[in-house]
Amino acid sequence: MSNPLQELPSLPSFDRLEPEQVEPAIDAHLAACDAKLQSGLYQRGWDNAVAPLEEAQDRLSRAFSPVSHLNSVLSGPWRAPYEAALAKITNYWTELGQNRELYDLYRELAASADFASWPQARRKTIELALRDFHLGGVALEGDERTQFAANSRRLAELSSTFANNVLDATNAWTYRTEDESELTGLPDTAVETARAAAENRGERGWVITLDGPSYLAVMTHAENRDLRKMVHLAFVTRASEQGQHAGRFDNSAVMTEILALRAQQANLLGMNNYAERSLASKMAESNDVVLDFLHNLARRARPAAEREFAELQAFATEQLGLDQLEPWDIAWAAEKLKRERYAVSQEELRPYFPFPKVLKGMFAVVERLFGVTVEADSSVTVWHPDVEFFWLKRGGEKLAGFYLDPFAREKKRGGAWMDTVSTRRQGAEGLQLPVAYLVCNFSPPTGAKPSLLTHYEVTTLFHEFGHGLHHMLTRVDVGPVSGINGVAWDAVELPSQFLENWCWEPEAIAMISGHYESGEPLPEALLDKMLAAKNFQSAMFTVRQLEFALFDFQLHCREQGASAEDVQALLDQVRSEVAVVPVAPENRFQHSFSHIFAGGYAAGYYSYKWAEVLSADAFSLFEERGIFDQETGERFLRSILEQGGSRDALELFTEFRGRGPEIDALLRHSGIEA
């Protein structure tokens, strides 16, 4: 029987994929990679060694991509084959990173007389490879070399275990009621979603889950304080030793082992801590630079955040009868205050942001900015009926493609993300186009009513599409530095945060909004209120991000890792320094902090704020020249999106902006005094 993971058509054959195909396909691709490595070591040179090996590795990546993706969006039968493949692939990359012969080949190329005349993308590929060899332990000997490889394999296993525990803990908790009065205050869309959740389980009544849309609806709108408390505590104790499923999916030991192994990896490389190891591939120059950046922002933002929280507490006491705001009251009380102050709520905006209209409008915004069109292609096979496939075109020519999986469902990982299907590269068979996955977790359509988005969800969609554009609009043909590959991690959020700005511009809002029944535009009065409310509690949001970033970075500045108790103590300390809202004693946020324990943000969560400085400053040029100024859009396209990782991020930003980044635009956009 044919195996689509070995054949590798240009797009994955999701209608033919089966879990049992994974292991033989991955084994075959790994064998091909090893064969190319061995032949390249004897033939040398870019064309004979580097390019053939990179092509074989690209095929391995394309085979693993749908497996990894299906594990995230369907889980179930894909978990075991994903984990088995991950272990083999991790082992391959670990051994490759310690291959002295290959390292010597790259050093030989970098030292060759004609290296300076090589194309920029090839030079950058070699430079980044040499950096990664050092970070992969190529210089280690004996027991240290063996230990480093074993640690790498174990870390991959632990990251997967952490993510699985969070997903399983999220899916394990539900609350069912047959008394609709318990749901008083919830928007109709949330009530209907809860009813559908019960129906899907073959049960009567309504089911609340910990999926994003369900959780946020309860925390923001439920009048039932006991319900808010129950759902909040279930959410913040996921995958920990607390809560209803205490210990069942507990990430305490997983977290501790991850931190110990990361610290040991850094020490083996001659570094003081894992934060130093992390910064080796980022824009920020040192631990002190990052900590100074975060503390400086905290000093500016916390006074405003304290004022915002004091206002909220006073409002809760005077208007809501709450002498003390508890953690499960914050979002609910904030929504009440926002509605009183600005006479606007996210639920009031929902009818004007039906998902199909927002999507079509977003495509129109991108067309005006970058001259590209988006066309759906229903002939491409997908993994779920909710999913659509689109081509990105310019002048009728296909530039790239992407899958869009927008709605929340059971067994799908929470959150929103972009991932790669394939990377733009020039190979033996011609030019390979970049293809991306874009995944969100919006409330699904119910009955004849389309999915209706909050404005926050609209910005999430723009954010992920910004990542997608960075991957898809690259003009670089060398895989390791094409699209998002090779981009400094603290600059990778620049295009995503940059695109969010159009969600707040009246000219663009007119393109992405329209009442789902009548098609009428967002009323001017409602638009004015929405824009006036833009920076409502923005300082509280900023210090919340700084809490996560400081916790993450300081945690990875330790030389020896940390116990679960140490982790909690550090988080408590950071909260005492920057946080302004109360936290439940049972709160175990760190146990589900997948960004740093199961994603790529370890000692890198600060990147969101770092890149926000870049994105706000970049957008300020559009503010000066017009938000759809063609020349400025073309300049951003040429200097940032098309360059991928082929040049340093700071160099590219400076080329676009005409100077280095400045923080003033971020403070202004956030409503915080410069």
Q: How far apart are the first and last CA of the chain?
A: 65
Q: CA–CA separation, 327 vs 229, rounded Å?
A: 8
In 535-611, the DSSP E strands lie at none
Q: CA–CA separation, 358 vs 78, rounded Å?
A: 32
Instruction: Residue count of the chain, please give it.
Output: 674
Place of tokens 């919006």: 442
The identity of residue 202, as a single letter, is: G
Alpha-helix residue ranges (DSSP H) falling in 400-505: 455-472, 494-500
Residue 448 buriedness (CB in 10 A; 0-12 / 13-18 / 19+): exposed
Helix (H, G, I), strand (E, B) or coil at 441: strand
Q: Which two tokens stand for residue 436?
A: 């991306």
Question: Which phi and psi angles does 386 have, rounded to 5°?
Answer: -70, -20
Q: Based on the residue annotation, tell me whether 178 is a catalytic residue of this protein.
A: no
- Candidates 55, 464, 500, 612; catalytic one: 464
Are 466 and 497 in contact by the 8 Å Cβ rule? The answer is: yes
Q: CA–CA separation, 250 vs 412, rounded Å?
A: 20
Are 403 and 173 in contact by the 8 Å Cβ rule? The answer is: no
Q: CA–CA separation, 119 vs 391, rounded Å?
A: 29
Q: CA–CA separation, 552 vs 262, rounded Å?
A: 13
Place of tokens 């509690």: 537
Taking alpha carbons only, the member of 615, 617, 607, 670 closest to residue 289 is: 607
In 525-624, the DSSP E strands lie at none
Residue 326 buriedness (CB in 10 A; 0-12 / 13-18 / 19+): middle
Are 186 and 217 in contact by the 8 Å Cβ rule? The answer is: yes
Are 298 and 554 in contact by the 8 Å Cβ rule? The answer is: no
Continuous segment of H or E residues that includes residue 418: strand 417-422
Distances (CA, A) of 404 to 298, 366, 407, 417, 501: 36, 16, 9, 10, 21
- Active site residue ranges: 464
